[in-house]
Each structure stands twice: as C-alpha cells, then as structure tokens.
Structure 1
Amino acid sequence: MAKQIIQTELAPQAIGTYSQAVKVGNTVYLSGQIPLDPATMTLVEGGMDAQIRRVFDNLKAVAEAAGGSLQDVVKLNIFLTDLGHFALVNEIMAGYFVQPYPARAALGVAALPRGAGVEMDGVMVLDQ
C-alpha cells in the first residue's frame, strides 16, 4: 500500500527528520505538534491556555490537509510537562471535539522541544 506525505503551511513545518503526517490507506498518522505559530515558527505567547489551543489548531490544520477533521481522530496522545494542566486540556478539548471522543492517553514528561508545555500526536481513520 502506498503512503502519502501530508504537508500544509497552516501548521508548523517539521523541525526534524519527520513529516507532518503520513497517510496509508485510510489511516493518517499525525506527527506530534507543539504550540508553534506556523507563520513565525516560534512558541505562542499567552500561557498554557494559548499553547493548548495552538496545538489543537495545528493538529486541525494537518487533519484537514489529509482530507479529514479532528472528528476523524481515533487516538490522541497528549504530553504535558505539568500534569496540573490536565483539567485545562479537557476543558479546551471539549471545544474542538464532540462525542464520541477519541481514545486518549495523557502523559507527564520532563521536557518537550523548544521549551513547550504541551505536545500532541494522533491517528485518524478516514471514511472510505
């Protein structure tokens, strides 16, 4: 099965040896997104609320570039440098997703690229 590389300028460009997403069949593997502004490639300002929203916006842009939406996400992984922000993630996530929600994991990590407080990646399955 052929793979298709997904790329959009509406999300940050890859800052390493990876693609924004890879589509294989009707499955799309979304690379981790940190709260970089795609226009400036710098971390957004405004605290954790702004960081979480930027990550969801970045994931949304890549999902749409792949021909889907956040509603097609079946698995979401959330990495936080402070698990004290878990409730804030839930609150903001409710504005981006509707039921049925994707399967999800939330992990506390020591550090993330560029000093980000949050990173998310996921898997989408598109309707055939």
Structure 2
Amino acid sequence: MPVETIHTDYAPPPAGHYAQACRAGDLLFVSGQLGIAPDSDPAIPVERQAERVLDALAAIAGAAGAALHDVAKVTVYVTDIGDWPTINAIYASYFGAHRPARAIVPVPALHYGAKIELEAVVSLSFGP
C-alpha cells in the first residue's frame, strides 16, 4: 500500500518540503505542528500556542477519519520547560481521559520563535 499524503485547510500549511501528515497502512504520522504561523508574531502566549497545535492535530487527524482519542503517541518540543505545567493542563483538557504515550523534549529554539511544537502518531485501525 503506498504512502498517502493527508492535508486539511483547517491546519497550517507546511512551510517547507513536507506533508501535514502521511498515512502508512493503519498509522498516520503527523508532522510537527507549531503554535504560530511563519508570518505571525512569536510573542503569542504559550497557552494560545498550545491550543493551536492541538487544534491542528485534531484537524489533521479528522482529515484522515480519526480523532484525538485515536492518537497513540505524541512528542512535544518546548523551548522553556517552565511552561510545561501550563501546556500539560491544556493538553489534558483536549485529551480528557485518553492518555497517549508521550515524550516532552526541551529544546533551545524552534522555527519562527515558536515556544511549542507537537508531532504525533495516530491509529487508523478502528476495529477491535
């Protein structure tokens, strides 16, 4: 089965040579989503950036016929680990009782001055 590119207008368009996500079999690999657009002000509060990356993840998963409760693994990159309690609270509000596997990676900088980037793997197998 060939790899299928997934795109939605409800998430930021890629700013480089990559897809928003790629479906390979029953897995959807969501590219890193930033909380800001390349032409936006990087001073957007981290709370709003966290909401934006999670909204983008939900939109991309939805474009592939999935939802946040189908997310299996998330990697979150943050430029200030001190923002983690705030980001985690917003993350928990989006996922509710669902708890995907997750890694938090502190990094010195992200593209365009963003404070958070999120990538994910989503299960597209809807059977038992």
Give the structure-1-normalised TM-score: 0.91
Cross-structure match for 1:11:
11
Among all aligned residue pairs of Structure 1 and Structure 2, give the percentage whose two residues are the same amino acid: 37
Say if 1:43 and 1:60 are closer, same or farther in 2 by CA, change over 3 A.
Answer: farther
User: Does structure 2 retain, via aligned residues, the 8 Å contact 1:21–1:28?
Assistant: yes
CA offsets per residue over residues 76-119 of structure 1, 9 Å max, x none? 00000000011111100111102230000001001101110000
**Which residue of 91, 95, 99 maps to 2:89?**
91
Distance, in Å, in 2 between the alignment partners of 1:68 and 1:26 is 11
Q: Secondary structure at the match of 1:8?
A: coil
1:70 to partner: Cα distance: 1.1
1:2 to partner: Cα distance: 1.5
Report matched runs for 1:1-128 at 5 Å: 1-36=1-36, 42-43=40-41, 46-126=44-124, 127-128=126-127
Structure 2's unaligned 5+ residue stretches are none
Structure 1 counterpart of 2:70, one-letter code: D
Distance, in Å, in 1 between the alignment partners of 2:40 and 2:60 is 18
Say if 1:111 and 1:124 are closer, same or farther in 2 by CA, change over 3 A.
Answer: same
Structure 1 counterpart of 2:5, one-letter code: I
Structure 1's unaligned 5+ residue stretches are none
1:35 to partner: Cα distance: 1.1
User: Does structure 1 retain, via aligned residues, the 8 Å contact 2:42–2:113?
Assistant: no
Give the structure-2-normalised TM-score: 0.91
Q: CA RMSD in A?
A: 1.7
